[in-house]
Structure 1
Amino acid sequence: MKRIVALLGDYYHPKEWSISALNKALTLLNKEENIECKIIQTSKIQEELSKKPDAVILFKEDRLNPADENVETWMTEDIAEAIAQYVKQGGGWLAWHSGLASYSIESSYTKMLRGHFEFHPVEHAHVKYTSLEGKDLFGPVSFEILDEHYFVKVDEEHTNVFLKSESVDGNSIGGWSHHYGEGRVCCLTPAHNEEGLVHEDFIRILASTIEWVSGT
């Protein structure tokens, strides 16, 4: 039995959409392995980390109220450091789409990720995601979806880029992974829209990244 904890949904990303995608990915994985997934609130993250789950999935940005004048965030440096220590000691972490967004660049969390979200164009576009030849840790990938094209900055010398993204707005990195201490970190930029989140090819790579970070 593998135990996974997930924090899903925020102001711009309906929780129900990511739950649907996650359930489809877990259905694929549960054909081979028994995985238990617990969805939690941010207030419970340190308590759950202390229980040493096999992996944590974050599909939630740092901002709690991005449309308000005074924006509040949930990830304190204490929480960021607790996350980094959890992974160093053998945990797995999947930063999925908004799990890369609005977190402090100087935090222990972002330093652990070795990359962060910079911006996305206002208009959604057809984004093509393709695995890099010879670096397709999660299998060969090539699919196109209407998406919020994330442009990210990644420390490519200290991680393994396995997915690239391309649209009319330019090229960026779609996924990267690395070991961090005794643990594993994976970052995945798609997807924003409901249709993209449940796209069959995206579900396959989501399942593969979950499998990898959880050590299955």
Structure 2
Amino acid sequence: MKKVLAVVGDFYHNCDLIQQSLNDILSPLMAEGVVQLEYCETRLISESLKEKPDIVILFAEDRVDPQNEPELRWMTPEISKQIAEYVDQGGAWIAWHAGMASYDEDSEYVKMLRGFFVHHPSENIEVTYHPVVNKSIPGTETSSEVFSFLDEHYFVECDESNTNIFLRSSSQDGEAPAGWFHTYGQGRVGCITPAHRAEGLLHPSFILCMRDLFGWVAKLTE
């Protein structure tokens, strides 16, 4: 059984809704006894990593109180380095939506992700997600069907030459990478930008897409 540590929810993202989405994503694997899911807060990540979880999923931005104290961050350079070393030594990491937001672009953490959030339109808009033809996640049968919902359209910087883009996004405001994966040392990293609202987080096509990414990162597929 693989231990999954999930760190979800922040000032702008409802913890209960994200947990509902993640439970839907992992429910078949939990029912089969393949994974065990635990949650923790950002302030406990450093101590939790010492217990060597098999997979970590981060859906939380770096800013602790973005409206009142925008410079207050939880990820110190020491924690950033600890995370990168954890993955390099064989761990697995998924940066989900806010898990790429407001982190230091020069940090070991962002270097490990090979991409980071830049901006999104002020209003939620219709975003269409396009699986990349012939770039599906290894060991999966990722659907080629596009799917759309009202969402924050994340625009990102991504080192596309050093990762594998399996999902792209488009809206009235442009196009952007929306999902990518790569190895990092002995470990694996996956990044995915949707979703912000319930209709996206609970959308069946997104659930399947996220489940495929988790399977590869967790080494359940090859």
TM tier relative to shorter chain: over 0.9
Q: Alpha-carbon deviation of 1:71?
A: 2.9
Q: Given that residues 29 and 211 in structure 1 are in contact (C-alpha distance below 8 angstroms), is that contact kept between their aligned partners in structure 2?
A: no
Give the AA of the match of 1:44: L
Per-residue displacement from partner, 1:96-136 (whole Å, max 9, x unpaired)?
A: 00000000000000000000000000111111111111101
Q: Which residue in 2 is equivalent to 1:185?
A: 189
**Which of these residues, 202, 209, 219, is aligned with residue 198 of structure 1?**
202
Give the AA of the match of 1:140: S
Deviates more, 1:170-179 or 1:46-55: 46-55
Q: Which residue in 2 is equivalent to 1:47?
A: 47
User: Structure with the greater relative contact order (CA < 8 A, sep ≥ 6): 1 or 2?
Assistant: 1
- Is 2:33 the counterpart of 1:30? no
Q: Which residue in 1 is equivalent to 2:109?
A: 109
Q: How does 1:1-216 map to 2 (within 5 A)?
A: 1-137=1-137, 138=140, 139-141=142-144, 142-216=146-220
Q: Alpha-carbon deviation of 1:29?
A: 2.7
Q: Given that residues 54 and 215 in structure 1 are in contact (C-alpha distance below 8 angstroms), is that contact kept between their aligned partners in structure 2?
A: no
Q: Alpha-carbon deviation of 1:14?
A: 0.6
Alpha-carbon separation, structure 2, partners of 1:4 and 1:37: 5
Per-residue displacement from partner, 1:60-105 (whole Å, max 9, x unpaired)?
A: 0000111115531100010000000000000000000000000000
Q: Alpha-carbon deviation of 1:31?
A: 5.0
Alpha-carbon separation, structure 1, partners of 2:57 and 2:89: 17
Deviates more, 1:106-115 or 1:36-45: 36-45
Q: Secondary structure at the match of 2:103?
A: coil
Q: Given that residues 128 and 165 in structure 1 are in contact (C-alpha distance below 8 angstroms), is that contact kept between their aligned partners in structure 2?
A: yes
Q: Given that residues 29 and 207 in structure 1 are in contact (C-alpha distance below 8 angstroms), is that contact kept between their aligned partners in structure 2?
A: no
Give the AA of the match of 1:207: R
Q: TM-score, normalised by structure 2?
A: 0.94
Q: Given that residues 105 and 111 in structure 1 are in contact (C-alpha distance below 8 angstroms), is that contact kept between their aligned partners in structure 2?
A: yes
Q: Alpha-carbon deviation of 1:153?
A: 0.6
Give the AA of the match of 1:160: N
Give the AA of the match of 1:7: V
The share of aligned pairs that are identical, in percent, is: 46
Q: Secondary structure at the match of 2:65?
A: coil
How many residue pairs get matched? 216
Alpha-carbon separation, structure 2, partners of 1:104 and 1:205: 28
Q: Which runs of 5+ in 1 are unaligned?
A: none
Alpha-carbon separation, structure 2, partners of 1:50 and 1:129: 36
Deviates more, 1:75-84 or 1:36-45: 36-45
Alpha-carbon separation, structure 2, partners of 1:70 and 1:156: 30
Alpha-carbon separation, structure 2, partners of 1:162 and 1:174: 8
C-alpha RMSD of the superposition: 1.2
Alpha-carbon separation, structure 2, partners of 1:207 and 1:186: 11
Per-residue displacement from partner, 1:123-166 (whole Å, max 9, x unpaired)?
A: 11111111111101151242101100000010011101110000
Give the 3 Å change call, closer, same or farther, for CA 89–15 of structure 1 in structure 2: same
